[in-house]
């Protein structure tokens, strides 16, 4: 809301003369022109548009009538999926009856204003008050507004366009465009902060902000707006990347800068490829996402997200709710509570959280022992304790802790464990479910205060559920016995629930959730995790060691999931991890693999806590991985593109034989098609150049990734790490650049992992280096097939020196420039 004196000044500053409509499609708005209705400003490159657009935020959900609100904003002009990147009046939308009377124009004092001519009121103003530390009271020279090619709306001098009075990049909303800012103005104190939307269809300011560290650190925070509560930090900027976000390195796909001068300090970024369309978005739920427009899919794909788990966002589910990253529904009300506003909840606006089903009884007016009989506690194990606990240091028993809570009518929960007694007044927020079902480290259980009738109802439901479970297990056991007898009588071999009805194979086994829960000791031993989910170790009844992958975000129906698992189960190769079975119950989706005793390759070549691999072993691993990929690309019924080849997805068995994991997650490509459309996946540092540009991909993306992995096997360090190219150099060189350059110079021995102490086969090393450089060529048609790579590594085919990729040449030239 604008101050009354500002509105008065702006209204009387509107010229009484008639204004002309702006030239529709022009990139500028000059004094005396108006933008109204369907008029648009279009940037000169045609990428962005500015105008009025409508939102569904005012749709009535009771009678389905629509009274649209209107906003002035900037959006991508050529993208079919409407995506706004900036909104002027997000806090004060224009109601439908007033829209036709509202116009954008430049007022006499040089401000951009949205003016309602009927009421003579200002809906929105750019409010140019202080520029470069001095007040602009009397404008003597004319100004103009222009929509720049980077999506920045700028008010500048009409005769001297280098003078900028105001720009939208200084007032971001929920989108951080390339070239925009997150930081602050040192002179005015103005923050350049991102603020999330209220919900999915209402762009009004929401709960979460991204802003520069107010203490002066070169980092930015994800936090609750107008609060000191921080739920995500990038860590300090070290000149190349943020310490806690190493994938933000400028040597990859984005060039990140920290600008610090007398007037401002801020972060900004630009994509290395100017044709890439990308945005950084702070979404409704407080997640920071980097989105990439994939032209072939006609949609945005998320290529980066922070925090990694949605439940790490503070209070994302609102009060009296529990957040679970592993459940089908992220947020659920606590027992005895229901969603306060179902309409807002469905739109991801959960700030209202949940409310009690039954009010607490006899609390407030009567604090006698009657309270003990009417209010009771319901245990919530396996959850993190709520925010803002009150510690009761003198309490020494759980019973006494419970009584303290009962005697205080504002107390809604208590907990007692190794850290003593804690109680919570008012709302319970930021409660998260443990994925493995265990109690927290201090053995603390949250006891939720409910009316006695509510607790008894919950208890009856639990008993009824247990009774139904016992009956179900009994009937199921009887049915299983009958089935076994039938199978035994028919002398047929039984293998669980086969997905393949072939005569010579049983297919993969359909496990029950309770069986996997028992085999993994309630998913207590976590082996690792990645983009697809978490992996837990288990032991079957026949002592077979297994690895259970609990898939995150799998939403297929049971029939589709079974069909996909059936396809994976038919793929058998010595260098591919064997799929034993699966689980598909309710919203649970799991894959059961053979367990790899020696973990993944990265543990041995990077982390230093695995077995030291000699050159012979490394070379055998390189050949084995190449054979596995060759099988996926060339020997399966359908060409399978892995899409995420990296050391973490190469597992080693007890004999250090390499086996490719997660190949079943890739998309299938029919033999009659040379390319496949796929969603944006993969890992930074291994992505082929054509992938980031959004074009359709082939199996050659796997070959590019394999080349990067091969360089890492040789060197024992990440391909994205840097190293001085000479002893007196002050500049870091991207390692693939160093490898290609060194190969051309003939000194391949200097590329080998120093821990090998020169104990290598020089001929094998030269073949491996040439194959790697051949694999990482810029264009997919210049790369070999995996079958060719196998022949080169096995010495069956001689390979000439491949050219240095042009992309690496460009990096090499820039990195060696003083």
393 or 164: which carries more pLDDT confidence?
164
Stretch 626-635: mean pLDDT: 90
Return the half-sphere exposure (C-beta side, CA atoms, 13 A cut-off) of residue 270. Answer: 9
Q: How confident is the model at residue 298 (pLDDT cuts 50, 70, 90)?
A: confident
Paired residues of 270 in beta bridges = 255
8-state DSSP, 205: E
Tell me the C-alpha distance between 354 and 308, whole Å: 25
User: Is residue 812 over pLDDT 70?
Assistant: no
639 or 252: which carries more pLDDT confidence?
639
| Cβ atoms within 10 Å of 412's Cβ, excluding its own | 22
Residue 668: the pLDDT is 29
Q: Which residue has the tokens 């709710």?
A: 321
* 373, 455, 769 from 368: Cα distances, Å: 10, 20, 81
Tell me the C-alpha distance between 625 and 622, whole Å: 5
Q: What are phi and psi of 137, to 5 degrees?
A: -90, -50
pLDDT digits (tens, 9 = 90+) for 492-531: 322 233 333 333 334 678 899 998 999 999 998 888 776 5
From the list 213, 284, 285, 280, the residue with the least C-alpha distance to 248 is 280
Q: How confident is the model at residue 758 (pLDDT cuts 50, 70, 90)?
A: confident
Stretch 694-715: mean pLDDT: 87
Stretch 66-91: mean pLDDT: 91
From the list 750, 755, 749, 795, the residue with the least C-alpha distance to 771 is 795
Q: Which residue has the tokens 């927290």?
A: 440
Residue 487: the pLDDT is 38
Structural domains of the chain ordered from first start: 1-167 (2.90.10.10), 321-457 (no CATH), 495-594 (3.30.200.20), 602-815 (1.10.510.10)
Q: Where are the alpha helices (DSSP H) in 716-785?
A: 735-745, 762-775
Paired residues of 69 in beta bridges = 55, 95
Residue 808: the pLDDT is 62
Global pTM? 0.58
The percent helix, strand, coil of the chain (3-state, each to 5) is: 25, 30, 45
662 or 269: which carries more pLDDT confidence?
269
322 or 560: which carries more pLDDT confidence?
322
Stretch 544-563: mean pLDDT: 75
Antiparallel, parallel or unpaired: β 264-271 and 182-185: antiparallel
Percent of the chain with pLDDT over 70: 73
pLDDT digits (tens, 9 = 90+) for 210-230: 999 988 889 999 999 988 899
| Sequential DSSP letters for 693-754 | TT--B-THHHHHHHHHHHHHHHHSS-TT-EEESSTT--SEEEHHHHHHHHHHHT-GGGGS-G
- What is the Rg, in whole angstroms, of the alpha carbon atoms belonging to the chain? 31
Tell me the C-alpha distance between 266 and 184, whole Å: 6
Label residue 750 exposed, middle or buried (CB < 10 Å: 0-12, 13-18, 19+): exposed
**Across the chain, what does the average pLDDT equal?**
79
Stretch 110-118: mean pLDDT: 86
Residue 362: the pLDDT is 57
From the candidates 39, 283, 602, 644, give the one annotated as an active-site residue.
644
List, as residue ranges, the binding site for ATP. 549
Q: How confident is the model at residue 754 (pLDDT cuts 50, 70, 90)?
A: confident
Q: How confident is the model at residue 60 (pLDDT cuts 50, 70, 90)?
A: very low
Residue 45 in tokens: 């490159």
Antiparallel, parallel or unpaired: β 446-451 and 264-271: unpaired
pLDDT digits (tens, 9 = 90+) for 714-744: 988 887 654 433 333 333 456 677 777 776 6
Structural contact between residues 556 and 524, judged by C-beta atoms closer than 8 angstroms: no
pLDDT digits (tens, 9 = 90+) for 468-485: 444 444 444 454 444 444
Would residue 273 show up in a list of annotated catalytic residues for this protein? Answer: no
From the list 312, 252, 248, the residue with the least C-alpha distance to 280 is 248
Q: How confident is the model at residue 17 (pLDDT cuts 50, 70, 90)?
A: very low
Highest mean pLDDT among 30-39, 191-200, 715-724 belongs to 191-200
């Amino acid at each position: 809301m604008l101050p009354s004196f500002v509105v008065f000044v702006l209204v009387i500053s509107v010229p009484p003369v008639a204004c002309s409509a702006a030239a529709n499609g022009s990139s500028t708005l000059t004094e005396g022109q108006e933008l109204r209705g369907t008029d648009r400003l279009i940037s000169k490159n045609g990428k962005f548009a500015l105008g009025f657009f409508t939102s569904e935020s005012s749709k009535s959900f009771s009678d389905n009538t629509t009274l649209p609100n209107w906003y002035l904003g900037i959006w991508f002009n050529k993208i079919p999926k409407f995506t706004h990147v900036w909104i002027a009046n997000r806090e004060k939308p224009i109601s439908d009856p007033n829209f036709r009377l509202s116009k954008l124009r430049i007022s006499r004092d040089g401000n951009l204003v949205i003016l309602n001519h009927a009421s003579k009121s200002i809906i929105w103003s750019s409010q140019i008050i202080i520029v470069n530390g001095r007040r602009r009271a009397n404008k003597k020279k004319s100004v103009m507004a222009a929509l720049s090619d980077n999506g920045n709306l700028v008010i500048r001098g009409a005769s001297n366009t280098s003078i900028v009075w105001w720009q939208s990049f200084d007032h971001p909303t929920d989108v951080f465009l390339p070239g925009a800012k997150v930081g602050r103005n040192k002179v005015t104190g103005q923050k350049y902060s991102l603020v999330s939307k209220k919900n999915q269809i209402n762009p009004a300011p929401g709960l979460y902000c991204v802003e520069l560290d107010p203490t002066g650190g070169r980092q930015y925070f994800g936090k609750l707006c107008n609060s000191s509560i921080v739920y995500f930090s990038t860590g300090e900027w070290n000149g190349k990347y943020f310490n806690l976000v190493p994938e933000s390195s400028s040597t990859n796909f984005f060039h990140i800068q920290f600008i610090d001068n007398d007037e401002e300090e801020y972060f900004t970024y630009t994509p290395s490829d100017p044709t890439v369309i990308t945005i950084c978005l702070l979404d409704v739920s407080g997640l920071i996402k980097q989105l990439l427009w994939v032209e072939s899919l006609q949609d945005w794909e998320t290529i980066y997200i922070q925090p990694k788990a949605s439940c790490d966002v503070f209070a994302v589910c609102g009060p009296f709710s529990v957040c679970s990253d592993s459940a089908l529904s992220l947020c659920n009300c606590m027992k005895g509570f229901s969603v306060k506003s179902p309409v807002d909840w469905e739109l991801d606006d959960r700030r209202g959280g949940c409310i009690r089903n039954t009010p607490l009884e006899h609390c407030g007016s009567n604090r006698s022992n009657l309270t003990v009989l009417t209010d009771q506690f319901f245990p919530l194990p396996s959850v993190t304790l709520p925010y803002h606990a009150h510690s009761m240091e003198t309490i020494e028993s759980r019973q006494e802790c419970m009584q303290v809570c009962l005697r205080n009518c504002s107390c809604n929960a208590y907990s007692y464990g190794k850290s003593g007694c804690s109680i919570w007044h008012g709302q319970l927020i930021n409660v998260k479910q443990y994925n493995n079902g265990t109690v927290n480290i201090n053995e603390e259980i949250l006891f939720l205060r409910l009316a006695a009738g509510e607790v008894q109802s919950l208890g009856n439901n639990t008993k009824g559920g247990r009774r139904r479970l016992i009956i179900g297990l009994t009937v199921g056991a009887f049915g299983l016995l009958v089935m076994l007898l039938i199978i035994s009588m028919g002398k047929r071999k039984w293998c669980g629930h086969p997905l393949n009805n072939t005569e010579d194979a049983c297919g993969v086994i359909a496990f029950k959730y309770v069986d996997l829960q028992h085999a993994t000791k309630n998913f207590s031993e976590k082996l690792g995790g990645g983009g697809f989910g978490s992996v837990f170790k288990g032991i079957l009844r026949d002592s077979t060691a297994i690895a259970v992958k609990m898939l995150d975000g799998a939403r297929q129906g049971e029939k589709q999931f079974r069909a996909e698992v059936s396809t994976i189960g038919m793929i058998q190769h010595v260098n591919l991890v064997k799929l034993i079975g699966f689980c598909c119950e309710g919203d649970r989706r799991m894959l059961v693999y053979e367990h790899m005793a020696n973990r993944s390759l990265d543990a041995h070549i990077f982390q230093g806590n695995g077995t030291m691999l000699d050159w012979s072993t490394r070379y055998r691993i390189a050949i084995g991985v190449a054979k596995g990929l060759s099988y996926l690309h060339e020997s399966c019924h359908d060409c399978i593109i892995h899409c995420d080849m990296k050391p973490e997805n190469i597992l080693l068995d007890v004999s250090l034989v390499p086996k490719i994991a997660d190949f079943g997650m890739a998309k299938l490509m029919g033999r009659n098609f040379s390319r496949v459309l796929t969603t944006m996946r993969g890992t930074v540092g291994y992505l082929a150049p054509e992938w980031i540009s959004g074009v359709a991909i082939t199996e050659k993306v796997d070959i590019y990734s394999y080349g990067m992995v091969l360089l890492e096997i040789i060197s024992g360090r990440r391909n994205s790490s840097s190293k001085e190219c000479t002893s007196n150099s002050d500049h870091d060189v991207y390692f693939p650049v160093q490898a290609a350059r060194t190969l051309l110079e003939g000194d391949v021995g200097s590329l080998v992992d120093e821990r090998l102490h020169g104990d290598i086969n020089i001929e094998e090393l030269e073949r491996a280096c040439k194959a790697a450089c051949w694999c990482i060529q810029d264009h997919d048609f210049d790369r070999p097939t995996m079958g060719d790579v196998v022949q080169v590594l096995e010495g069956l085919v001689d390979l000439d020196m491949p050219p240095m990729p042009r992309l690496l040449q460009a990096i090499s030239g820039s990195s060696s420039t003083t």
